[in-house]
Amino acid sequence: MEQTGSQPKLSQPEAFARIRLLRSPNIGPVSYRALLARFGTAADALEALPDLGSRGKTPYRPIAADRVEREVEAVRAAGARYLFHDQPDYPALLGELESAPPIVTCRGRLELANAPCVAMVGARNASAAAVKLARDFAAELANAGFTVVSGLARGIDGAAHEAALGAHGGGTIGVIASGIDIAYPPQHSDLQERIATEGFLMAEQPPGTEPRGRHFPSRNRIIAGLASGTLVVEAAPQSGSLITARLAGEAGREVMAIPGSPLDTRSHGCNQLIRDGAVLVSTPDEVIELLEGFTGAPRSSFRVEDAGAPFDYAELSKLQWGEARADLSGDITNLLTKAPIGIDELIRQSGASAAEVHMALLELELAGGIERHSDGAVSLSGATGD
């Protein structure tokens, strides 16, 4: 857990407590930040967790310390290290997401994540023409100084990584849905190791974690969050690549797509993206032009939604835990269904302050009563998401 470079020293006990806090039941990126803002340190938040989660059906217990000790040993054994959300070297664009991972494990050249980044995603069963396009685009973008970000999947992802690694001037980042010590897919184990040594490899899941379906949308938000723009090379409808594009749009980033033949179902997703507001691109120069001039106001309009006013979680520190919340948690529960709804709407309908609503939601989340969604909405537990 030792921190290096320009990063500020985080004490070993607090770093350990932060990992333990994030690994505890029902704690995600938003609740983690809220707890840190409310209590100041992860150590103090851990002490308060049993009381905070007392509305659950079973007593709340943080994850056992020895499990975290084994995790830390596994990270070291993998040649990886931890990166915390409030360190200066944490990728700036990724940190703008409310759902940005508070802690990641990583290997390789961290500076690539703070260079201009472009995400490239597409079909696993890609056509030969699309694979060649991915290689050509990735090589030219990397030669122009961009870091190419992708998810190490078969097809478009792998082609983009390989081409960027062979270019001069840029590099590549692989974001994986497994632990930092797990190669997936297995046939990309050599490529993943090459990215970890020549590029930059990131994982949100603890070491030893095999990829599961629910991990891939989480990985996709990181891919989209690292980059000022996402390029979809080839994608079928309902594919994971379209989830990445949607998340990029919701984050206010550029969304681009290469058009394809209407006779090939693998192109239907890209063509639909363009109809829905993504920017049509046909050459790497068009991508470079879009991203070099990116100021935070994308030309694309694909699925860009107003997530509501950002909330300063430091406001939670002004409330005493338990203040004005006994009835509010019940009121919030009654307002919720399994359909996601924006927090701003809950604030309007409940008549409570933003801080009180966020505090009530934190308590409900710890008790396992709600789920948070990528666009900042919440729902009762059991809702089906992306």
DSSP-derived secondary structure for 342-356 = -HHHHHHHH---HHH
**Which pLDDT tens digit goes with each residue over 108-135?**
999 999 999 999 999 999 999 999 999 9
How large is the angle between the packed helices 29-39 and 354-366, nearest 10 degrees? 120
Under 8 Å between Cβ of 225 and 94 = yes
The CATH number assigned to the domain with range 107-292 reads 3.40.50.450
Query: How buried is 257 (Cβ within 10 angstroms: 0-12 exposed, 13-18 middle, 19+ buried)?
Result: buried
Dist. CA 57–CA 216, nearest whole Å: 30
HSE-CB for 353 with a 13 A CA cutoff: 12
Domain with CATH 1.10.10.10 in the chain: 321-380
How high is the pLDDT of residue 5? 41
Dist. CA 337–CA 335, nearest whole Å: 7
Residue with tokens 């870091």: 147
Each of the 386 residues of the chain gets a pLDDT tens digit; together they read: 444 444 457 899 999 999 999 999 999 999 999 999 989 999 999 998 888 776 666 788 999 999 999 999 999 999 999 999 999 999 999 999 989 999 999 999 999 999 999 999 999 999 999 999 999 999 999 999 999 999 999 999 999 999 999 998 789 999 999 999 999 999 999 999 999 999 999 999 999 999 999 899 999 999 999 999 999 999 999 889 999 999 999 999 999 999 999 989 999 999 999 999 999 999 999 999 999 988 888 988 886 555 556 788 777 777 765 544 556 878 888 999 999 999 999 999 998 888 889 888 888 888 888 999 877 789 998 744 33
Query: How buried is 333 (Cβ within 10 angstroms: 0-12 exposed, 13-18 middle, 19+ buried)?
Result: middle
Domain with CATH 3.40.50.450 in the chain: 107-292
Query: b/e map of 232-251 (b: 16 or more CB within 10 Å)?
Result: bbbbbeebbbbbbbbbbbbb
HSE-CB for 72 with a 13 A CA cutoff: 15
CATH 1.10.3720.10 fits 321-380, yes or no: no
Note the pTM of the prediction, 2 decimals: 0.90
Dist. CA 53–CA 56, nearest whole Å: 6
Q: Which two tokens stand for residue 11?
A: 């004490």
**Which pLDDT tens digit goes with each residue over 285-302?**
999 999 998 888 898 888
Under 8 Å between Cβ of 384 and 49 = no
Dist. CA 34–CA 3, nearest whole Å: 24
Please provide residue 175's backbone torsions phi and psi, each rounded to the nearest 5 degrees.
-110, 120
